[in-house]
Amino acid sequence: QAEGSAETVNGSLTTHVLNTATGLPAAGLAVRLAQLQEPGPQWMELAQRWTDKDGRCLPLLAPKQAKAGTYKLRFETAAYWQGLGHASFYPFVEVVFTIADPAQKLHVPLLISPYSYTTYRGS
């Protein structure tokens, strides 16, 4: 299926964001990817994307671009909620995770509402 082909690329990092207050994808939300530089604690920004109408964005790491290490996805939730006319308890959400096997595809979804968020390792 051509529509999901960007998500099935080996060795890439993908995400999607769902607004659980409406049950709809979170469109137009800024996402940044950074990698922790060793020895830390310096973060180097690698990519910035915005979610589309389906709450997804282009892969944050291209095939074979991933390296073992610690990474951070930063989701700019305050601007997203403000755009919908809501206040947000969380001005942004940072999800820190480790890539142990750079050849493995990683999917890190985020579920958000104005007063909560959940993330998990997807497939």
pLDDT at 21: 94
Torsion-angle region of 23 (φ positive above 0: left; ψ -120 to 50: alpha; else: beta) = left
- How many CB atoms neighbour CB 74 within 10 A? 18
CA–CA separation, 88 and 66 (whole Å): 32
Does some domain include residue 86?
A: yes
User: Is residue 120 marked as binding?
Assistant: yes
Which band of pLDDT confidence, cut at 50, 70 and 90, is reported for residue 63?
confident
Q: Flag whether pLDDT at 5 surpasses 50.
A: no
Q: What is the CATH number of the domain that holds 78?
A: 2.60.40.180
Does some domain include residue 76?
A: yes
Q: Flag whether pLDDT at 9 surpasses 60.
A: no
E strand or H helix at 78: helix 77-83
Residue 77 near residue 117 (C-beta atoms within 8 A): yes
User: Is residue 115 marked as binding?
Assistant: no
Q: Flag whether pLDDT at 4 surpasses 80.
A: no
Candidate from 6-10, 29-33, 111-115 with smallest mean pLDDT: 6-10
Question: Each residue of 91-121: pLDDT tens digit?
Answer: 999 999 999 998 888 999 999 999 999 999 9
Does some domain include residue 61?
A: yes
Residue 11 near residue 61 (C-beta atoms within 8 A): yes
pLDDT at 6: 44
User: Is residue 49 marked as binding?
Assistant: no
pLDDT at 103: 87
Of 102, 76, 98, 107, nearest to 14 by C-alpha is: 107
E strand or H helix at 21: none
Does some domain include residue 31?
A: yes
Q: Specify the number of domains making up the chain.
A: 1
Q: At 64, list the tokens.
A: 């074979």
Does some domain include residue 39?
A: yes
Does some domain include residue 7?
A: no
pLDDT at 87: 92
The predicted model scores a pTM of: 0.88
Domain membership of residue 67 as a residue range: 18-105
Q: Which amino acid is at 59?
A: P
Does some domain include residue 110?
A: no
Does some domain include residue 120?
A: no
